[in-house]
Amino acid sequence: MSLLISVFNFLLANGETSGNDNGNGGDGLNPLIFIPIALMLLAIVILPRFAMRKKGKNINDMRSTVRVGDEIMCTSGIIGKVLEIVEHPGGEKSFFVESGCEGSKSTMQIDCRALFENRTRMKELKEEAARQAEIDKINKENKLLKKQDSEQSTDSN
């Protein structure tokens, strides 16, 4: 981006002294200065689309992994347990969710597009990451011990 700005500044400075001066003042504007402007606008339009596409894929993956019994949170902030998943014609899904305190629970049907987070899946992913971190730590300690043992055996020889 800074390269585009420096090119723009260069072209703007050189555009004021273009060779099209025929005695009547000329326009003094080089048409090449529009190239960096077009490139910047193109970058502003295209780059966010890649991030949105990746985010959309993650959301679709999350919606497809919801199971009966999962605790979910909706975009409205409602937190509840999935009781039933209903498939509608056209591939759309909705969930029957139970929410509320003991004794005053209510059941509501929520469209899959209102799903914000699968809290059960997030807990599973965090536990899996913690287990993997523990395994990595043990492997690292084992490698360090093997290295120390090999150094001691070479020192004793």
Tell me: the pLDDT tens digits for 12-61? 666 555 454 444 455 566 777 788 888 888 888 888 888 888 888 888 88
Cβ count near 83 (within 10 Å): 14
Q: What is the mean pLDDT of residues 59-81?
A: 88
Asked if 83 contacts 96 with a C-beta cutoff of 8 angstroms, the reply is: yes
pLDDT by residue (tens digit) across 96-123? 999 988 888 999 999 988 888 898 888 8
pTM > 0.85: yes or no: no
Asked if 72 contacts 66 with a C-beta cutoff of 8 angstroms, the reply is: yes
Cβ count near 149 (within 10 Å): 10
pLDDT by residue (tens digit) across 88-97? 888 888 999 9
Asked if 113 contacts 64 with a C-beta cutoff of 8 angstroms, the reply is: no
